[in-house]
């Protein structure tokens, strides 16, 4: 399966904030188990993943019964979960779990286990868990069929999902607005390289039954692919910001060119700073509007997202990063005008390493798209050195899903908006092409500055000429607006830009980053 198929499937299922098929699950504890109970803990899972990595990869594609492989979209949607079958429905738990049915795009069986008091038992497939009124017969399916994944609800609102694990190693969660948006993955392998991307799969999950009244759900997962295996543990804590503490033990089968740790996947089609695809009636369409980074050296960076003409890969080198994430900073409904998918409510996702990750880079991949159901943005951490084959590699980190990142610069203003357009002086004839940038900063100490404060915009461009610069108060946001024109040279090579505001030698804002690609010289219209 290629990237577009995988990402389009995942995005399409959540285009309206929830996985489209209101699928599956069971009150699994009362269902039919497979086999005998076996002792289970994370140490065993790591040993299992290590042993698996020493053997050739075995693909399970094509094992699905033909009746499920050939399901139409409408028939797949016609498989509906029976709410009364939810796992832990009547057990005093604050959580409920439901399973997703196999079929259509989800053709790799995922085995689900329930863990009670350190004993794990696989959950058999049971057609009684589902309602189905489609036209294509599902057939007589075996007890060991497996599932496609699962989703979780919490006692604050059992009608809405808290999190879902569905498709390859994709998973997603919500914040206080209970709104799905972008996704995370277990691993990214060879994203945006000169050969096909590899999509590892969570092939099995172990759901640990929460104790009565507990606010934590623990999930274990086995990851497998041609290049690597992995053992994962997720400690999930619902709240205003939903937190996942994640541990990963990785065992490479072979050297991987570009390995992505803690990968995040989002969508950016149209925004205030980049409207290449602007045929839609809505002014903005995106799950995230920027990549934020807190470097190991303590610098705060903000890179607005774009929908480029071609695949664009940016690498931000760092040593022991403190955090990074794809954020949806713009929370104004008027900027989106979509009362169906509510882009202003989409959660931001922030990554905090739990230990030192050493040298590497935060990588940002932007892929052209004309379709909002296609997740075209990827961000992840790439270690400087490839993971050694035959060795164990441990990574731990925290994902926070919510309106705002848990970390932010306390004394520095942040970027509130980025706008671009044709440069020049209003009322004067343009003699040459230039491109205008307007960056709004707010927060920090900007609202405390006196009228006589001599604020300077520090602007650095890798090429071209910067002119018509300014930094002036913007009362509407109690902040400042930095403006400048960029006069590019005659090439179409991307130009890197850096901007921040300072007072004397004191930085007042995070550092704004941008990559501008000039149009061909014959398309540089002066209007």
Q: What is the dihedral of CA 347, 340, 275, 380, to 10 degrees?
A: 30
Q: Please tell me the pTM assigned to this model.
A: 0.91
pLDDT > 70 fraction of the chain, expressed in percent and rounded: 94
Q: Specify if 298 maps to a domain.
A: yes
Q: Specify if 408 maps to a domain.
A: no
pLDDT of residue 283: 93
Domain hosting residue 25, numbered range: 3-402
Question: Is residue 22 scored above 60 in pLDDT?
Answer: no
Cα–Cα separations (whole angstroms), residue 41 to 204, 245, 403, 472? 14, 17, 34, 59
Question: Is residue 201 scored above 60 in pLDDT?
Answer: yes
Among 372, 402, 432, the domain boundary falls at 402
pLDDT tens-digit map of 37-89: 999 999 999 999 999 999 999 998 888 998 999 899 999 999 988 889 999 98
Tell me the torsion sign for CA atoms 50, 53, 54, 55.
Answer: positive
Q: Which of 175, 172, 191 is nearest to 13 (CA)?
A: 172
440 and 356, same structural domain?
A: no
277 and 133, same structural domain?
A: yes
378 and 459, same structural domain?
A: no
Q: Specify if 407 maps to a domain.
A: no
Q: Specify if 222 maps to a domain.
A: yes
Q: What is the CATH number of the domain that holds 467?
A: 2.60.40.10
Name the domain count of the chain: 2
300 and 435, same structural domain?
A: no
Among 381, 402, 423, the domain boundary falls at 402
Assess contact for 232 and 223: CB atoms under 8 A.
yes
pLDDT tens-digit map of 125-143: 988 899 999 999 998 898 8
Split at pLDDT 50, 70, 90, the class of 31 is: low
pLDDT of residue 330: 94
8-state DSSP, 30: G
Cα–Cα separations (whole angstroms), residue 450 to 316, 382, 505? 35, 43, 17
Split at pLDDT 50, 70, 90, the class of 361 is: very high
230 and 90, same structural domain?
A: yes
pLDDT of residue 13: 45
Q: What is the CATH number of the domain that holds 207?
A: 2.70.98.10
Assess contact for 103 and 76: CB atoms under 8 A.
yes
Q: Specify if 95 maps to a domain.
A: yes
Assess contact for 176 and 83: CB atoms under 8 A.
no
Question: Is residue 12 scored above 60 in pLDDT?
Answer: no
Task: Name residues whose C-beta falls within 8 Å of residue 9's C-beta, 6 or more positions apart in sequence.
Answer: 105, 167
């Amino acid at each position: 399966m290629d990237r577009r198929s995988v990402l389009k499937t995942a995005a399409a299922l959540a285009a309206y904030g929830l996985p489209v098929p209101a699928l599956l699950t069971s009150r699994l504890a009362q269902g039919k188990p497979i086999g005998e109970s076996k002792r289970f803990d994370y140490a065993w899972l790591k040993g299992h993943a290590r042993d698996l990595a020493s053997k050739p990869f075995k693909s399970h594609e094509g094992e699905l019964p033909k009746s499920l492989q050939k399901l139409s979209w409408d028939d797949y949607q016609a498989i509906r979960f029976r709410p009364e079958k939810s796992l832990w429905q009547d057990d005093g738990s604050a959580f409920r779990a439901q399973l997703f049915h196999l079929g259509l795009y989800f053709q790799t069986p995922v085995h689900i286990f329930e863990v009670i008091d350190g004993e794990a038992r696989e959950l058999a497939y049971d057609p009684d868990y589902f309602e189905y009124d489609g036209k294509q017969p599902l057939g007589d399916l075996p007890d060991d069929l497996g599932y496609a994944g699962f989703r979780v609800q919490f006692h604050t609102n059992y009608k809405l999902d808290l999190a879902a694990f569905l498709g390859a190693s994709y998973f997603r969660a919500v914040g206080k607005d209970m709104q799905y948006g972008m996704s995370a993955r277990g691993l990214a392998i060879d994203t945006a390289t000169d050969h096909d991307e590899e999509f590892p799969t969570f092939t099995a999950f172990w759901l640990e039954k929460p104790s009565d009244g507990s606010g934590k759900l623990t999930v274990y997962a086995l990851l497998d692919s041609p290049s690597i295996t992995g053992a994962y543990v997720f400690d999930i804590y619902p709240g205003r910001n939903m937190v996942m503490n994640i541990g990963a033990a990785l065992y490479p089968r072979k050297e991987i060119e570009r390995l992505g740790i803690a990968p995040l996947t989002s969508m950016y089609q149209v925004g205030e700073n980049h409207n290449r695809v602007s045929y839609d009636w809505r002014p903005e369409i995106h799950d995230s509007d920027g990549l934020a980074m807190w470097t190991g050296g303590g610098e705060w960076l903000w890179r607005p997202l774009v929908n480029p003409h071609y695949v664009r890969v940016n690498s931000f080198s760092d040593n022991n990063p403190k955090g990074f994430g794809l954020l949806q900073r713009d929370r104004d409904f008027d900027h989106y005008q979509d009362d169906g998918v509510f882009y202003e409510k989409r959660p931001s996702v922030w990554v905090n390493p739990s230990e030192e990750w050493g040298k590497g880079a935060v990588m940002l991949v932007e892929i052209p798209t004309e379709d909002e159901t296609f997740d075209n943005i990827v961000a992840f951490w790439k270690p400087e050195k490839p993971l050694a084959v035959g060795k164990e590699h441990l990574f731990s980190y925290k994902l926070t899903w919510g309106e705002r990142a848990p970390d932010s610069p306390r004394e520095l203003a942040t970027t509130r908006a980025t706008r671009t357009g044709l440069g020049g002086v209003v009322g004067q004839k343009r003699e040459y092409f230039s491109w205008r940038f307007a960056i709004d900063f707010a927060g920090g100490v900007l609202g405390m500055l006196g009228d006589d404060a001599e604020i300077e915009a520090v602007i650095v461009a890798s090429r071209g000429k910067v002119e018509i610069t300014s930094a002036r108060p913007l009362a509407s946001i109690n902040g400042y607006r930095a403006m400048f024109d960029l006069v590019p040279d005659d090439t179409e090579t991307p130009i890197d830009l850096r901007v921040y505001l300072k007072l004397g030698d004191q930085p007042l804002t995070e550092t704004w980053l941008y990559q501008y690609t000039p149009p061909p010289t014959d398309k540089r219209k002066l209007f």
